[in-house]
Structure 1
Amino acid sequence: MTHPVIAGVDGSASSLEAVEVAAREAHLRGASLRIVHAFGHQSAGHGLEPMTQGVLARAEERARAIAPGVAVTRSVVAGEAVQVLEIESRSASLAVVGSRGLSGFSGLLLGSTAVHLAGHGQCPLMVMRGRPDPAGPVVLAVDGSEAGAGAVEFAFTEAALRKAPLVAVHVWNTWSERAYEGPGDPLNAAVVDAEHLREAEQHLLDESVAAWQEKFPEVVVERSLVRSRIRPALIDASGGAQLVVVGARGRGGFTGLLLGSVSQALLHHAHCPVTVVRGEE
């Protein structure tokens, strides 16, 4: 049985956009949609019931207009949005939230909420950002780490569901932390054989996507090896894309941290929606 897609709503325009996207995702997956509205304890006793029902009714109306065949349920939970969605994510295939909110999701990308959900949620988190190009590719940030393998699988699956091309981007530079067999000290940028390192990074990229390309032969894949600073290069790659997929924490991440700087940079600055996929514990 396919786990449901969940959408966090508070009545804001951004959260209603998230509901529409979540409804499409549920339709593509053959899954149900669960609309989740969280309210803090400070909201109790302030006309909560009529407001909540209005929020949910508008959200469900938008969802049914987008995907009339998808089964929709509502969930109203007392508690802070971040904790509520973290719990809801345990039984979901995907969580979708807006980038701005009115109450429970207020300041989503200005504070720690998105970072917390991306780092602690039990399913992939899609955050609505920018203006996605519906004809654009799914962009996958490849780092070659074991933690990033889930992002590779998700990106190929998503590209297949959307019937979209996939651009697998791997960014490297002479400060790449991956050691390689070659002349000189691989950890000393001053003596790095840049061409040899480029070949090693190309091999990493090829190896990361080869098996999944065989499993999804219908997906047109472009492999893009970019020599640059990682965060600006991936933000730039998000322009003209319909979705960017990234692992929560990749190569070079510090033990114990649940979300890396690259993931955070994309959550704050990407030009299209971002999905963060956590690796296996």
Structure 2
Amino acid sequence: MVAPDKPVAAGVDGSEGSGRAALWAAAEAARRGAGLRLVIVNDDPVRADHAEQAVHEIATKCRAHAPDVEVTAEVVTGRPVEELLRLSGAAQLVVLGARGRGGFTQALLGGVSTGVATQASCPVVVVRRDVPETAGPVVVGVDDSACSREALRFAYAAAARLGADLVALEAWHEEGLLAVPLAPPDRDRVQHEVEQSLAKQTAPLRERYPAVRTREVVQRGHAVSALTDAARDARLLVVGHRGSGGFDSLFLGSVAAGVLHHAPCPVAVVRGAG
């Protein structure tokens, strides 16, 4: 999944939130042994000088934060989503702030972050303005879909780089809005089936990353609530872009947008292979 010759890219806009995201990206680039590419997308020629100043100020902070990382900075003219998606094709990871509040508020989040996170060619991490200082785990949502399997691999690699534990969480509930709750024996049966499925999914990665302590959690309930709650003290929450596994009620694709808005920690959205 990771291409060592490609940089970590960060879309910035001069706001405090995007600056913190850029620093997170610089630290991640250092962990990956990669370069860092900072980009402001400017759609107003009048702001060209301001954009150049803003991106170079952020670059200076990133170089101080991660002195071993090669940092490049540039201003790109165009539409934010289109340019950031194009940027994702030449990056191993794109990092965005959760909400832009600077002179280029259209360059980043709100709708732009969600659009980029769900369409990018590489994984996307969305960093909230108030990144918590925590030694918590990496949490990953699992549902046995192709995207979920990619997310699980991404999460294990991230946990190994961070020296963090990993929590693999699979949530389930009765299918359909009008579904009748399962009787206790059936509920126990489904719970056991999901626990077995989760253990099967994590087994090869446990073997590949023996230093990463893994905790498997199977929970009856809505995935957004379960993941948001599990990520309260997390260093990173990882979800797949779209879920289509054997448990139809999991639909991680719709979950991605939910956790992007509600999770208290950085969120990585990972697309399936191909």
The two structures have a TM-score, normalised by structure 2, of 0.89
| CA distance in structure 1 between the aligned counterparts of 2:14 and 2:253, rounded to whole angstroms | 30
Contact 2:13 2:107 in 1 (8 A): no
Equivalent of 2:31 in 20, 25, 28: 28
Rate the CA distance shift 1:53–1:108 in 2: closer, same or farther, 3 A.
closer
**What is aligned with 1:179?**
none
Q: Does 1:267 align with 2:270?
A: no
Rate the CA distance shift 1:103–1:207 in 2: closer, same or farther, 3 A.
farther
Cα distance per residue 1:52-82 (max 9 Å; x no partner): 2211221111111111010111222100211
Rate the CA distance shift 1:68–1:38 in 2: closer, same or farther, 3 A.
same
Task: List, as ranges, runs of 4+ consecutive aligned residues in structure 1 with deviation greater than 6 Å.
Answer: none
SS in structure 1 opposite 2:259? helix
One-letter identity of the residue aligned with 2:69: V
Rate the CA distance shift 1:259–1:202 in 2: closer, same or farther, 3 A.
closer
SS in structure 1 opposite 2:9? strand
One-letter identity of the residue aligned with 2:221: S
**What is aligned with 2:20?**
17
**What is aligned with 1:162?**
162
Contact 1:160 1:219 in 2 (8 A): yes
**What is aligned with 2:230?**
237
Rate the CA distance shift 1:23–1:224 in 2: closer, same or farther, 3 A.
same
Contact 1:119 1:259 in 2 (8 A): no
| CA distance in structure 1 between the aligned counterparts of 2:134 and 2:227, rounded to whole angstroms | 19
Q: Does 1:223 align with 2:204?
A: no
- How many aligned positions are there? 262
| CA distance in structure 2 between the aligned counterparts of 1:175 and 1:148, rounded to whole angstroms | 19
| CA distance in structure 2 between the aligned counterparts of 1:72 and 1:16, rounded to whole angstroms | 14
| CA distance in structure 1 between the aligned counterparts of 2:82 and 2:252, rounded to whole angstroms | 17
Deviation at 1:145, TM superposition (A): 1.0
Deviation at 1:147, TM superposition (A): 2.2
Contact 1:175 1:189 in 2 (8 A): no
Rate the CA distance shift 1:114–1:259 in 2: closer, same or farther, 3 A.
farther
**Structure 2 stretches lacking a partner, 5+ long:** none
| CA distance in structure 2 between the aligned counterparts of 1:63 and 1:232, rounded to whole angstroms | 34
Contact 1:133 1:241 in 2 (8 A): no
| CA distance in structure 2 between the aligned counterparts of 1:132 and 1:172, rounded to whole angstroms | 28
1:83-98 equivalent positions in 2, closer than 5 A: 83-98=82-97
Contact 1:168 1:224 in 2 (8 A): yes
**What is aligned with 1:150?**
150
| CA distance in structure 1 between the aligned counterparts of 2:78 and 2:116, rounded to whole angstroms | 15
The two structures have a TM-score, normalised by structure 1, of 0.87
Deviation at 1:218, TM superposition (A): 0.8
1:125-140 equivalent positions in 2, closer than 5 A: 125-129=124-128, 130-140=130-140
RMSD between aligned residues: 2.2
Rate the CA distance shift 1:75–1:63 in 2: closer, same or farther, 3 A.
same
| CA distance in structure 2 between the aligned counterparts of 1:197 and 1:252, rounded to whole angstroms | 15
